[in-house]
A and B are shown apart, each in its own frame.
Chain A
Amino acid sequence: MKTILEINKTKVPIVRIDKSLNKYDNIVLFPEKVAKAKKAFERLGLPDLKKHSR
């Protein structure tokens, strides 16, 4: 079991589940940004990890 100190150092946070937020899951809250993301995907596709290897 992790100690509180260890948990506090982790990058993945503790997330409290609040079911009242489920209502947002099927609503696009930022339609302009989603449209922009869609356009970027249509133009560029996904980055090619092989081509851009580290």
Chain B
Amino acid sequence: MRLDRYEIKSGDRLLSFEFLSEGPKGKIQKLIQFALVNQDNYYNLAFGDKNPVTGEIDDIAVTDNGDSEKVLATVVAAVYAFCEKYPQAWIYATGSTAARTRLFQMGINKYFDIVEEDFEIFGECENEWERFVKNKK
């Protein structure tokens, strides 16, 4: 099964990705970045909208372009591309708000059976890492 996703572009090192979200609000440039946090192959994953005028990146903006699932599938595709190049990497990801983090959890839940074949997925629970459990309340 392959989810509908946008085409992505990247720099040479597959650390920074860009794609265009298309929907009722028009075409919105999105940037995904894998930023090295420390030397233990530990990276932060974040993405947001690129302001076409200032070039600034905004990860708080509510784009509301009606394509959140496709956007998430595109981010997941970038994770696959990144991990092809950096197979030892640990990737930390969280939403800008509790609601967004919840949205991402729901996304993982929905496609857990597909992604767990390829990744070790953990969540932070009461100050500990816990293996991600599908549909856990």
Residues of A at the B interface (CB closer than 8 Å) are 8-25, 28-30, 33-34, 36-38, 40-41, 43-44, 46-49, 52, 54
Contacts of B10 in A (CB 8 A): 15-18, 21
Determine which of B14, B96, B127 lies in contact with A15 in the assembled complex, contact meaning CB atoms within 8 Å.
Answer: B14
Contact between chains at B13 and A22 (CB < 8 Å):
yes
Interface: B112 (CB within 8 A): no
List residues of chain A with CB within 8 A of the CB of B5: 13
Q: How far is the CB of B10 from chain A (nearest CB, A)?
A: 5
Q: Given contacts A8-B2, A24-B31, A37-B92, is CB(A17)–CB(B9) below 8 Å? A: yes
When A and B form their complex, what is the total count of cross-chain residue pairs whose Cβ atoms lie within 8 Å?
123
Q: Mark B1-23, 1 if CB is under 8 A from A, else 0.
A: 01001011111111111100000
With the chains together, A32 CA to B16 CA distance in Å? Answer: 17
Q: Return the 8 tightest CB-CB contacts between A and B, nearest first.
A: A30-B46, A21-B11, A24-B16, A47-B129, A37-B44, A22-B11, A37-B92, A13-B77
Size of interface on B: residues with Cβ below 8 Å to A: 45
Question: B124 near A29 (CB under 8 angstroms)?
Answer: no
Give every chain B residue within 8 A of A34 (Cβ-Cβ). Answer: 35, 37, 44, 46
